[in-house]
Amino acid sequence: MATCSAPGKIYLFGEHAVVHGEPAVACAVELRTRVTVLPAKSTSVISNGKPLGFGGGPYIENTLKIMEKFLVLPPLSIRIDSEIPIAAGIGSSAALTVALLRALSIEFGVKMDLSMIAATAHRVERVVQGAASPTDTFVSTMGGVVVVPERRHLSPLGCKIVIGEAERGVGEKTREMVSRVAELRETYPDVVDPIFNAIGRLTRNGVRLIEDDDCKGIGRLMNINDGLLEALGVGTTMLSRLVHAARDAGAFGAKITGAGGGGCIVALTDDPQEVARGIEDAGGRAIVVEIAREGVREE
């Protein structure tokens, strides 16, 4: 039997613009998906106490298919316990895939180093989603605060992170939001390219501020980033409400995280309880999280 866990992630800066060649900063957060695998008489998948039919869904099916290139797998009992909100832009599918791959490689003695786990998990996400940036799977595998595309680690922030969940179901929307932004760019390249460019610039400035642990400065740039995401058309009424509630409660800054169109916001603060209260009063679900310094690990 092997049990592994992998963390979810938020974007501090740069989502959407990263698809168009600009840098982004993502951060692994201490919300984990734990996966236990053990050989059994027949294959079954139990997720947060409930049995999953259809081979456990596309991420599990495709992960098993890829592992079958290395060995013949016996029937398996797979147990998933996840703290990550599903399909909310916090990287639940990446964490599941990464933790499952690691657990399988340990259980069956397949040598896979962390870069291979990240690359293989990215392949699974591409098969399932059609297109996926390597960010989620890389950050979930390696942990910490990471600038992409360089995949360089930055020092962890001193302040606290509060996630505000507005609506679920955004996971299925990532593709739609990415293509909506691409369509906007095709229609108005002279308007939209400077927005991507500004996001790239604020991300580069943000990297310097993260290195200086200047949470006030990082928060100001997150606010600008949120305005630019709004300009790209990925905001919703509820996301805006939560962003403003977090700022009104004293956050250094708050923004949409991930694809938008629903999902979550992220806020930086020294007073997480106050910001969480503000988010909850505005109708969201607040989750106070630590940065996950460690990525995938055996439990």
Task: List the catalytic residues.
Answer: 136
Q: Is 31 exposed, middle or buried (0-12, 13-18, 19+ CB in 10 A)?
A: buried
Query: CB under 6 A: which stretch of 13-21, 46-54, 236-244, 284-292 binds ligand PMV?
Result: 13-21
The residue type of 135 is T
How many alpha carbons lie under 13 Å from residue 147 in its C-beta half-sphere?
19
Q: Give min distance, CB of 23 to ligand PMV, in A.
A: 12
258 binds ligand PMV, rule: CB under 6 A: yes
16 touches ligand PMV (CB under 6 A) = yes
**Are residues 95 and 82 in contact, defined by beta-carbon separation less than 8 angstroms?**
yes
Q: How far is the CB of 71 from ligand PMV (least distance, A)?
A: 31
Torsions phi, psi for 156 (to 5 deg)? -65, 150
Q: Under a CB-based contact definition with an 8 Å cutoff, are residues 203 and 13 in contact?
A: yes
- One-letter identity of residue 95: A
Name the residue whose CB lies closest to ligand PMV: 258
Question: Shortest approach of ligand PMV to residue 63 CB, angstroms?
Answer: 18
Tell me: does residue 163 bind ligand PMV (CB under 6 A).
no
Build a one-symbol-per-residue string for 167-206: x at contacts with ligand PMV by CB under 6 A, - elsewhere: ---x---x---x----------------------------
Residue with tokens 């599990």, as numbered in its chain: 60
Closest CA to 152 of 92, 212, 219, 210: 210
Residue 106 forms beta bridges with which residues? Answer: none
Neighbours of 51 (CB within 10 A): 9
In the bound state with ligand PMV, the residue whose beta carbon lies nearer, of 67 and 145, is 145
Give the count of residues interacting with ligand PMV (CB under 6 A).
15
Q: Which of residues 23-82 bind ligand PMV (CB under 6 A)?
A: none
- One of 7, 56, 85, 91 touching ligand PMV (CB under 6 A): 91
Q: How far is the CB of 198 from ligand PMV (least distance, A)?
A: 16
214 binds ligand PMV (CB under 6 A): no
Contact string (CB under 6 A) for ligand PMV, positions 119-148, x = contact: -------------xx-xx------------
Q: With contact defined as beta carbons under 8 Å apart, do 29 and 290 qualify?
A: yes
**4, 6, 19, 87: which one contacts ligand PMV (CB under 6 A)?**
19
Nearer to ligand PMV, 89 or 206 (CB): 89
Residue 261: name the closest of 188, 196, 178, 198 by CA: 178
226 binds ligand PMV, rule: CB under 6 A:
no
- What is the residue-wise DSSP string for 185-253? HHH-HHHHHHHHHHHHHHHHHHHHHHHTT-HHHHHHHHHHHHHHHHHTT---HHHHHHHHHHHHTT-SE
Instruction: List contacts with ligand PMV (CB under 6 A).
Output: 15-16, 18-19, 89, 91, 132-133, 135-136, 170, 174, 178, 258-259
